Amino acid sequence: MTVQAIYAGGQHYRVSGGGYSPKGDITPVNGGNQNALVGEDIPPVLVDCLMAGVLCNDSQLKQTGADWTVVGDPTEGALITAAEKAGLSQVGLAATKPRLDAIPFESDYQYMATLHDAEPRMIYVKGSVEALLNRCTQMLDVQGHATALNPTQIKQEVDAMAGQGLRVLAFAQKAAAVHQHAIDHEDIATDLVFLGLQGMIDPPRPEAITAVHVCQSAGIHVKMITGDHIATARAIAQRMGIQTDAGVVAFAGQQLAQMTDRDIEQAAAEGSVFARVAPAQKLQLVEALQAEGNIVAMTGDGVNDAPALKQADIGIAMGKGGTEVARESADMLLTDDNFASIEAAVEEGRTVYQNLRKAIAFLLPVNGGESMTILISALLARELPILSLQVLWLNMINSITMTVPLAFEPKSQGMMQQPPRNPNEPLLTPKLFRRILVVSVFNWILIFGIFEWAKSTTGDVAVARTMAIQALVAARIIYLISISQLGANLAQFVRGRADAIANAPILIVGIATAIVLQILFSQWGLMNTLFATAPLTWQQWMICLLPMLPMLPTALWVNWIDPPQADNIGNRW
C-alpha cells in the first residue's frame, strides 16, 4: 500500500517511491514549482495533513536490513511512509505531541480520532470522506489559514482520485480544551477543520488477476466487498476483471441499507462490487447468496468480517494480515494472503475428486468381476476359475500397483473450464454405476471364457486359472488406460506429439510394475507353489493378450474424440 496522491489546501501533490521505504519525494502537480518539497518549502496545510496521518495511527514501520515492513495496518503504514518522505518522523512527532486518548476505528463510524498534548491540544481525525465531511465546517488553505469549506470541490477531488483506483482517506483536526484528557464521539461531531485527502493504492497482483479469470471460467462468481469508496472499488474491479455479463455492477452500503431482504438478494446475485459496506451488510450478502442455493466462500481479515466468515460455507481468513478474531471464525487460513492460492486450491480439490472417482471406477468393476466369478461358480457348484489366494494377489498386489498411480494423475485438460458439481450429487452416480455393472459383467465373461477354453484344451486346471488371471490383468490395463490421462496421452502420441507419453510417468511405472509382477506370478516356480499357478507358453500368453487387441484401439479412439475431463468418467465408453 503506497500513497501516490495528496490534495490539501486546494493544491495537488504527487508522491514518488513504492512500498514502505521512506525513499521518495512529494512534488506539486499544479503551479510553477515542480521541485520536490523539503523543509520550509512544504506548505503548512500539507504538513498538517501528513501529521494527522502519522499521529492518528496505531501502526509502525520496521526496517530489517534494506527491507521496510509495517507492523500493523498496511494503510496506516502507507501514511507513515508518506510523512517520512516529507521529513516528518513518527518518533519525533510522538515525542513532541504525545497521545492522551483515542477513539479506535469502527466500521459503523468509519473514522479514527486521537487527542494529543500540544500547544494548543489538538484532536486529529482520519476516515472516509463521507464520515468526515459532514462534521467539518471549515478547511485550511495552502498557508494553513481557515477558510470556508467547499464540499462540492472536495467530492470532485475524491471522485477523481477514486476513478484512478486510489483508496482515499480524509483528514481533519479540531482544537481541544486546554485541560481535556479524553475524547468521545460527541467531541468530533461538529466543528472539524478539513485538512486534505491522501490517495493510496495497493496494485493488484498479476497472478490474482489471472486467478479471477480462471475462477470465472470455472463457474465461480467472484464478488468484491470493500470499505473503499465506490468509485475506487469500481476501478479496481474493472482492472481485475471482477464483473458480470452486464459489466461492473456496483452497490454502495447506503443503497443496501434502503433495500428490502428480497432486493438485497437480487443485488447480491446481480452485483459484482459492494463498497462502503457495514459488517451487518456483509453478513446479509452472504446469507442472500446462500438463500439462492449458492455455496459461498468468503475471505476477510478484520474483526468486523468475523460474522460473515462464520456464516459462509467456507470462511477464509488472512494468515498474515488477519486478526485473531477473524482466524478463529474462519474454516481455513490463507497463509500467503494471495487470492491466487484460493484458485489453486480449487483446482487441486477438483483434481483430487476426479482421481478419487477414477479409482472407484477402476476398482469396483475389476473386483465386481472377480466376485461374480466366485459367487456364480459356488452357486452352480462348478470348479472355481480363480482361487481365494489368487484373488488376494489380484487385490493386494495387482490392483494397488495400478490404482495408486491414479491418485497422482495430473489435472485433466479443461479442468477449470468445467462448471461446479452439484454438492448433493452422489459419489457413485447412476451413469457410473451402469458403467461398473457392464465392465463387471465383461470381466466375469472373460474369466469364465478363458478358464473354460483353457481347461478343455489343456486339461490342466492350474494353467487354465493362470490364463484366466493373466487375461483379466491384460483387460485391466486397457480399462485403466481408457479412464486415465494415459489414454489421452497415447492418443496425442499417435497424433504425433512425441512428448505426450512423458506427461504420465507414474501411471506408466505402475503398469510396468504390474506386468513384471504378473510374469513372475506365472513363470517363477516359487510363485507357482504359493499361488497354485503354472508357467505359460508363449502361445498361451498370446491367447491371454487377445482381449487387449480389440480394446486398445477402442480406448485410443475414445480418448481421441473425448479426452478425460473432470466429470465425464461415467459418460465415456
Mean pLDDT, to the nearest integer, of 266-284?
92
Instruction: Please check whether residue 216 is in contact with residue 183, taking contact to mean a CB–CB distance below 8 angstroms.
Output: no
Instruction: Please check whether residue 451 is in contact with residue 465, taking contact to mean a CB–CB distance below 8 angstroms.
Output: yes
Structural domains of the chain in order of their starting residue, each with its CATH number: 2-201 (3.40.1110.10), 206-338 (3.40.50.1000), 342-561 (1.20.1110.10)
Instruction: Please check whether residue 179 is in contact with residue 117, taking contact to mean a CB–CB distance below 8 angstroms.
Output: no
* DSSP state letter for 397: I
Which amino acid does the sequence have at 356?
L
The count of C-alpha atoms lying within 13 angstroms of the C-alpha of 383, restricted to the half-sphere facing its C-beta, is 10
In the prediction, which pLDDT does 189 show? 93
Instruction: Please check whether residue 427 is in contact with residue 360, taking contact to mean a CB–CB distance below 8 angstroms.
Output: yes
Q: What are the contacts of 186-193 at 24+ separation with CB within 8 A?
A: 187/113, 187/123, 188/103, 188/111, 188/113, 188/123, 188/125, 188/135, 189/135, 190/135, 190/137, 191/135, 191/137, 192/125, 192/132, 192/135, 192/136, 192/137, 193/136, 193/137, 193/138, 193/139, 193/140, 193/146
- The proportion of the chain whose per-residue pLDDT surpasses 70, expressed as a percent, equals 90
Q: Please give the model's pTM, rounded to 2 decimal places.
A: 0.72
Instruction: Please check whether residue 194 is in contact with residue 153, taking contact to mean a CB–CB distance below 8 angstroms.
Output: no
35 pLDDT above the threshold of 80: no
Q: How far apart are CA 13 and CA 56, in angstroms?
A: 21
Mean pLDDT, to the nearest integer, of 326-345?
92
In the prediction, which pLDDT does 487 show? 61
198's enclosing H/E stretch is strand 192-201
Nearest to 353 by CA among 406, 403, 317: 406
Burial 42-75 (b: 16+ CB within 10 A, else e): bbebbbbbbbbbbbbbebebeeeeeebebeebeb
Which residues have CB under 8 Å from 519's CB, separation 6+?
Answer: none
Joined grid coordinates for residue 32:
510553477
In the prediction, which pLDDT does 484 show? 78
279 pLDDT above the threshold of 80: yes
What is the distance in angstroms between the CA of the first residue and the CA of the last residue of the chain?
54
497 pLDDT above the threshold of 70: no
58 pLDDT above the threshold of 70: yes
Q: Where are the beta strands (DSSP E) in 107-148?
A: 111-116, 122-127, 136-140, 146-148
Confidence of residue 360 (pLDDT cuts 50, 70, 90): confident
Helix axes 505-523 and 485-495, enclosed angle (nearest 10): 100
The phi and psi torsions of 29 (rounded to 5 degrees) equal -90, -40
Quick one: the chain helix, strand, coil %, rounded to 5?
Answer: 55, 15, 30
Using CA atoms, how far residue 402 sits from 269, 357, 506, 559, in Å, is: 45, 14, 10, 19
Nearest to 480 by CA among 541, 552, 534: 552
User: What mean pLDDT, rounded, does the chain reach?
Assistant: 86
Helix axes 485-495 and 461-483, enclosed angle (nearest 10): 80
In the prediction, which pLDDT does 176 show? 92
Mean pLDDT, to the nearest integer, of 198-216?
89
| Residue pLDDT, tens place only, 419-438 | 888 888 888 888 888 878 88
Mean pLDDT, to the nearest integer, of 204-224?
91
- Residue 381 backbone zone (phi > 0: left; psi -120 to 50: alpha; other: beta): left
